[in-house]
Amino acid sequence: MRDIVYFDLETQKSFSAVGGAKNKAKMGVSVAVTYSTKTEQYHVYGEDQMDALVEQLVKADLVVGWNHIQFDYPVLQGYTIYDLETQTMNLDMMLNLEQEDKLGFRLKLDSAAKVSLGMGKTADGLDALRWWNEYKKTGDKTFMMKIAEYCCFDVKVTKCVHEYGLEHGVVRYEDKAGNPAEVKVDWS
C-alpha cells in the first residue's frame, strides 16, 4: 500500500521574532502532525522528536501539505541535514493551485475547505503562537494540547481537500470577491 503522509507544523516564533521570512529555520517547531495512509493514524511530534518526523517524511511515498515546501520544510530544515524538498516526494497543493495555468495566486486552505468541504479551519497560526507563549510562561500543558488539536485538524482538512480533488478532479474555493469557484486538478 502506498504511504501518503499529510503534514503540518506550528512554530514557536513569528517572522518578526526571527528577523523575517528569510530566517524560517530559526522559528522553531512547537508541534508537528502527520497522518499516514499506511498506518491510518495521526502522529503528533514535539520538538524533541524532529528526527522521527524527518524519517517519516523521507520514507513516505508522497508528502501532501499546504505551503509545506515554502514554509514547513524551511522551518523543519533547522533540525536536519536532509534537504527536505529534494529528498522527499511532494504535492504542495497551494503551490500546485498557484500556478499560472490554474489560479495564478495563493489560495488559503480555509477558502478551499469552506467551499469544497463545507468546513473551515478551527483557528490560525497566530492562535498557535499565543498558546505556545502561554505554555512557555505557565508550563500548563493544556496550551500544548490546544496546539496539537489545531494542527491535527489542519492535517485532517488538508487530507480532506486532497481527497476531494482526487475524487472530483476539481477544488472548489472562494474567489477574491467571495463567490464560489472551482479549479481543475490532477492529483492522481
Where does residue 97 rank: exposed (0-12), middle (13-18), buried (19+ CB within 10 A)? Answer: buried
**Averaged pLDDT for residues 85-90:** 96
- Crossing angle of helices 109-117 and 141-168, in 10° steps, is 60
**Averaged pLDDT for residues 155-174:** 96
Residue 178 pLDDT: 86
**Averaged pLDDT for residues 169-173:** 96
Q: What is the pTM of this model?
A: 0.94
